[in-house]
Amino acid sequence: MTALFFFGTLRHRPLLEIVLGQTGHLAITAARLPGFEVRAVGPGVFPALCPQAGAMAEGLLVQGLSDGDLHRLDYYEGGFGFALRPVVLAGGQAALCYFPQPAPEVFGPRWDFAGWQRTHAEMSCIAAREVLGYLGTKEAGEVAQMFPTIRARAWAQINARAVRHGAGTLDGRVDVRARRRSYAKFFALDDFELSHERFDGAMTPVLSRACFIGTDAAIVLPYDPERDCVALVEQMRVGPLARGDARRWQLEPIAGRIDAAETPEATARREAQEEAGIDLTDLHPVAQCYASPGSSSEFFYVFVGLADFAGQGGAIGGLDSEHEDIRTHVMPFADLMSLCEGQRAANAPLVMAAYWLAHHRHALLRSGDALVRDKATR
């Protein structure tokens, strides 16, 4: 049996129980490690031990770990480059502890366990269930590459609780008999065996269904009321390619995945800068909707965002790290409506945002006139 010292997220008992599968056979007590401080690394929510004279890292001592427990822990931690090293705790207790390999070159501020529990613990538990679900079918390194998407899928489950739609619909019973993940990488595909309540109160027979498991996404149509223009982006899309569409490059609003613990508004602003170099001012909500609820969990937060297009148009943007090759088009509002009314816009959120803009445009134009007057008086 082995003893480990946990200083970071696995101090959260629900997460520890998910990773280990069970904890009833273990002795778990509070412990401290002298000579180290728990500091943030990466984007700031991941902890690591930083050597610090006179410091004391708080944590848990878990004793009685079996080889099976260690296998699950190594699978969860090992894909991120963490490896076990021996440590001596305050009071002389010997234990093992996970350290990043290699050690980070730069540590962030002191890691806030209580703050992490408030903002990330529930999402991390959901993500950990998916990670451990791949044990025996995927290598730890492959799961580590998927982890940002796994966390985004977990965040979507939390967002789903704050629904604004569905008033007047049946709040019926759904019995999920089986759910199997048939594919998982950047996206996932789940097969369901389920039965659901009918409108007459009876239950359906067991049905076989499949669902594309996506993430939540923020979509924004930038609009410059001073120039009465919109900005669209163009890029190659695999959906039209797979369908056999003659046009694989598509005109779209700006869009991107809502990352873990990120708001839709923050995503819209980030993606506008990454894809087109556009800084948005006011964001106007257009819709919160499923892309295709009969077959996909993907959920859209759609906005029109106000911006200044001075110097915009024709620029190539996107992140090299994501192999994005994106061209920006600035066009008059009238040209956008010509595309939509002529059924030459093939992107549903674009058409939705365009007709919202058509309905609210005069009010936004008045805001643009006010901006022009303000600039003239400076």
User: How many Cβ atoms sit within 10 Å of the Cβ of residue 345?
Assistant: 19
Angle at 337 between CA 331 and CA 338, to 5 degrees: 90
In a 10 Å sphere around its CB, with 0-12 CB exposed, 13-18 middle and 19+ buried, how is residue 109 labelled? exposed
Angle at 121 between CA 32 and CA 102, to 5 degrees: 60
* Site of tokens 């309540």: 197
* Site of tokens 């390619």: 241
Residue 209, SS3 per DSSP:
strand
Q: Which of 49, 46, 47 is nearest to 34 (CA)?
A: 49
What residues have CB less than 8 Å from 79, skipping those under 6 apart?
139, 140, 141, 142, 143, 144, 147
Parallel, antiparallel or unpaired: strands 46-65 and 2-6: antiparallel
How far is 226 from 228, CA to CA, in rounded Å? 6
CB 253 within 8 A of CB 275: no
Catalytically annotated residues: 322
What distances in angstroms separate CA 186 from CA 22, 258, 340, one per listed residue?
Answer: 29, 14, 31
What residues have CB less than 8 Å from 110, skipping those under 6 apart?
37, 38, 39, 40
What residues have CB less than 8 Å from 361, skipping those under 6 apart?
228, 333
Q: Which of 7, 46, 6, 10 is nearest to 261 (CA)?
A: 46
